[in-house]
Homo-oligomer: A and B are copies of this chain.
Amino acid sequence: MPYQIAILGASGYTGAELVRLIATHPHMEVAALSADRKAGMEMADVFPFLRHLNLPKLVKIEEIDFSKIDLCFCALPHGTSQEVVDALPRTLKIVDLSAGFRLRDAAAYEKWYGAPHVHPDLQAEAVYGLTEFYRAEISEARLVAGTGCNAATGQFALRPLIAAGVIDLDEIIIDLKAGVSGAGRSAKENLLHAELSGGTHTYSMGGKHRHLGEFDQEFSKIAGRSVHVQFSPHLLPMNRGILATVYVRGNPAQIHETLRAAYVKEPFLRVLPFGSLPSTRDIAGSNFCHIGVIGDRLPGRAVVVAVLDNLNKGSSGQALQNANLMLGIEETTGLMLAPIFP
């Protein structure tokens, strides 16, 4: 019998993406779906693209019998998630997709999210869910905290370089271009088609974007000293995809080789030949991350470009990859779907 899966917050984009992925997963079955305002509705009415699937109705969380659930994905807002995860059975395996448990340090959490963490014990328990770098911990974990989608992109470009000491830690700039689905499905004027299509702008500039908390935590941990990158997010008129243009100082060939060697056995992380740079179109809808490196005309400077799909590798694909590990399933199961182009 396949593992029984619950998805809390199934009326948002990451919830729907989880359902889409699990639909072709041979060892998982969607057993429960929750939504708050849309409880009582059929998933086919909330997301008609899932109409062909035989799915349970959306219910309130309290209506779910968790004794029958093997693993629960939480795709709720980060504040809600802390409360909900606390109330779930302490034996239940959980992959949380919110920002609720990403930061290990209580002060850091309060700084970036503007309020103290409600359940520091859970914050301490949670394992940071960047699969390729926390495999062992994730396999043993009960509660895994999915990373920010931008945070994942930047880390795939930079972690091996920081670890290997091949770049200047004080001269890192991440100029990031993000698709609009990362902002979620909530009805806001600034997310309307008429407002967004055909143009671009920055957001959360000047060191204010919350994913900086993850960069600070992870890069400083690897480096053994404080590392503070500069991070500039831009919103683009596309639904899926993140492209991070990462400016670093160091030997370009060495930087490329470091990434290549680090990821040579990774099924989802693909380093392109030196000088080739990736496009978001080539990973849309998939769990793949493509990474390229090029040297600048200015000696000692390189640019690393990483792309991934924010809803998939940056969120729900990563979550499923972690769930596979937690359940003892082969890590790539259900995740080898090709990207979709055009």
Contact = CB atoms under 8 A, between A and B. Distances in A.
A4 interface: no
Interface in A269-301: 270, 275, 277-286, 288, 290, 294-298, 301
A207 interface: yes
Interface in A206-251: 206-208, 212, 228, 230, 232, 234, 236-241, 243, 245, 247
Given A241-B200, A279-B48, A297-B206, A53 B338 contact: yes
Contacts of A295: 206
Nearest to A340: B285
Given A177-B177, A341-B16, A341-B47, A239 B193 contact: yes
Contacts of A106: none
Contact of A205 (B20, B200, B206, B303): B303
Contacts of A70: none
Interface stretch (A97-105, A127-135, A180-188): A180-188
A194 B184 CA distance: 9
Contacts of A327: none
Given A20-B338, A278-B48, A305 B198 contact: no
Given A20-B340, A187-B187, A228-B297, 15 more contacts: A24-B336, A51-B282, A51-B290, A52-B338, A175-B245, A185-B195, A193-B197, A194-B239, A198-B198, A198-B238, A200-B236, A205-B303, A206-B303, A207-B296, A239-B342
Contact of A279 (B191, B200, B206, B298): B200
A251 B186 CA distance: 38
A50 B338 contact: yes
Given A51-B282, A194-B13, A206-B297, A199 B241 contact: yes
A23 interface: yes
Interface string A326-342: 00000000001111111
Interface string A153-182: 000000000000000000001010100110
A284 B341 CA distance: 11
A60 B284 CA distance: 30
A262 interface: no
B243 A52 contact: no
A204 to B, nearest CB: 10
A92 interface: no
B49 A201 contact: no
Contacts of A191: 187, 192-194
B192 A237 contact: no
Contacts of A173: 173, 247
